[in-house]
Amino acid sequence: MSQSVGSGGGASGSRFNNGSSPVVHSLTSNPKDRDLTQFVPTKTRCSYHPCFCEENVWKLADGVRSKSPGELAKTYVVFVSNKKQVVPLWRQKAGRDEDQLVVWDYHVIFIYKPDERVLVYDLDSELPFPTYFHKYVTETFRTDAILNPEYHRFFRLIPEIPSSSTLPRIGGI
């Protein structure tokens, strides 16, 4: 990979139709969901380095591996990119407009699926940590219908997270 993680950096909203975002509700407001957060630390306790999403996700996975290895089979790493390596994402900390739109070369997120629920952990997101999958997709990726085809995202799902030495790189997306 010739680009560094998250090197897409700046955001430009002029190429995209920026719609309004729904109100955000915290995952932990439902007592049934509080047990789902025990495998990953709170956002403030996570190891976080801006613009290094891949490493941040690996740290999350490593935490699950060391605390609850039996839960690894319920986790996934998802690489998001496209052939042009120009990926628009909304509700990101690095975004500068009101929709917090940013364009990265790629992005990596951590997913935990303990049962019928699916949670997304994204340390670069302004959404709650974790966020339900549907909410995350709706607010972060929006719809390809508003994008030029060259900006459509591809997703590479890595089940049962490997050790850092075998974590695939984005070039294979």
**Among residues 49, 97, 99, 107, which one is catalytic?**
107
Q: Is 53 a catalytic residue?
A: yes
CB atoms within 10 A of CB 61: 25
Q: Is 51 a catalytic residue?
A: no
**Among residues 51, 97, 99, 122, which one is catalytic?**
122
**Among residues 51, 53, 99, 124, which one is catalytic?**
53
Active site residues: 53, 107, 122
